[in-house]
Structure 1
């Protein structure tokens, strides 16, 4: 059975060979058991090890997290951000039409953090025709 998991990703623009990808920033994403993105790390990290450490920091600090909703003034869409020790550490992977949808999905993220598997390795995500 599939479980929620933290995956680590780096971006690669089209046409850039993997051999030239060294040193690209790494970000984590929390994926649900049904393969939906629940949330992302707020910051990119220089190395895979630093990114894994950021996930461990998030998991260890779960009781100290605070959240805030962000509203896009133009669209009215709502997203969430999580703050740990005065540092924004996670954000919603998308925005929502309604605040209650945003709150519901924040709850799914918070439920998954302590039990999610931390995967090994980095996934390379291609960016079609755009710079990383």
Structure 2
């Protein structure tokens, strides 16, 4: 089975206007490939994103956790947020119908952060070459 790991993701790649600087974030996924949490901030490059993960791993014991109830008009549900020195660093990737489910998933996130795989270097962005098949990729 694949262990839990941090993934670096480029945000809004399809909607980003030409020439706009890409933004990156991270996601923590469990061994079952389900998202356990994600970055609360966006970063200018994968290196900054990785550095934020390293800081999170170092300081997760100092983190303050907050459970919130989403606006009922927006569908409601419970969510969690992790703060270090008053700044949000991680959030739930989804809302939960029950408070206990939200608390359980926050606990899972906190347990996995220190042991999840952390790539040494974020992979190069890739795209399919025009006219090429999905197996043909070029670094961007």
SS at 2:42's partner residue?
coil
TM-score by length of 2: 0.79
Q: Pairwise CA RMSD of aligned residues?
A: 2.2
Q: State the TM-score, normalized to the length of structure 1.
A: 0.83
RCO higher in structure (CA 8 A, sep ≥6) = 1
Equivalent position SS for 2:22: coil
For the residue of structure 1 that corresponds to 2:105, the secondary structure is: helix
State the number of aligned residues: 122
**Which segments of 5 or more consecutive residues in structure 1 lack a partner in the other structure?**
125-132
Equivalent residue, structure 2, for 1:90: 90
Counting only pairs closer than 5 Å after superposition, residues 101-120 of structure 1 correspond to structure 2 as 101-119=101-119, 120=122
Q: Which residue of 2 aligns with 1:56?
A: 54
- Higher normalized strand content (fraction of residues): 1
5 Å matches for 1:5-16? 5-11=5-11, 12-13=13-14
Q: Work out whether residues 38 and 108 of structure 1, in 8 Å CA contact, stay in contact via their aligned partners in 2.
A: yes
Matches within 5 A, 1:64-83: 64-74=62-72, 75-83=75-83
Structure 1 moving runs of 4+ over 6 Å: none
Q: Structure 1 pair 113/15, CA: closer, same or farther in 2 (3 Å)?
A: closer
Distance 1:104 1:122, change over 3 A: farther
